[in-house]
């Protein structure tokens, strides 16, 4: 299970890369420098930067809000399916109890 990263650290890394990008020959170099400075992996900073671009609308993809909504809806669907299964089994049980042929 992935560990939770502090949202402030994530935002700071993205901000630092964007602010200091012109000081480095490539975006990858800026990303690596910020990752070293903040003590996180270069790949994490690269993914955070890409997601920030999607959230800003400068890159196509699913925004963080849309992703959170999909996750919430999937959890709700799972709960509703479980509830429906419980109700289905209860109705089968009670239908059998009320059936005069079963006595």
* CATH number of the domain to which 14 belongs: 1.10.10.10
Could you tell me if 69 and 57 lie in one domain?
no
Q: What is the pTM of this model?
A: 0.70
Same-domain pairing of 20 and 53: yes
Q: Give the chain's domain count.
A: 2
Same domain flag for 20 and 68: no
Q: What are 47-67's pLDDT values in tens digits?
A: 999 999 999 989 999 999 999
pLDDT at position 80 is 98
Q: What is the C-alpha to C-alpha distance for residues 54 and 64, in angstroms, rounded to an integer?
A: 8
What DSSP state is assigned to residue 4?
Answer: P
Asked if 36 and 55 sit in the same domain, the reply is: yes
Quote the CA–CA distance of 100 and 103 in Å, as a whole number. 6
Q: Which domain does 98 fall in, by range?
A: 63-102
Based on the fold, state whether residues 21 and 43 are members of the same structural domain: yes
Q: How many CA atoms lie within 13 A of 77 on its CB side?
A: 6
């Amino acid at each position: 299970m992935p560990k939770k990263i502090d949202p402030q650290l994530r935002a700071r890394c993205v901000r630092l890369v964007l602010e200091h990008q012109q000081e480095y020959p490539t975006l990858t170099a800026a990303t690596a420098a910020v990752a070293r400075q903040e003590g996180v992996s270069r790949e994490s900073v690269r993914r955070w930067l890409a997601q920030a671009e999607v959230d800003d609308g400068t890159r196509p993809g699913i925004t963080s809000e849309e992703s959170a909504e999909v996750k919430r809806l999937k959890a709700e669907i799972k709960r509703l399916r479980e509830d429906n299964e419980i109700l289905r089994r209860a109705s089968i049980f009670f239908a059998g109890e009320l059936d005069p042929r079963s006595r």
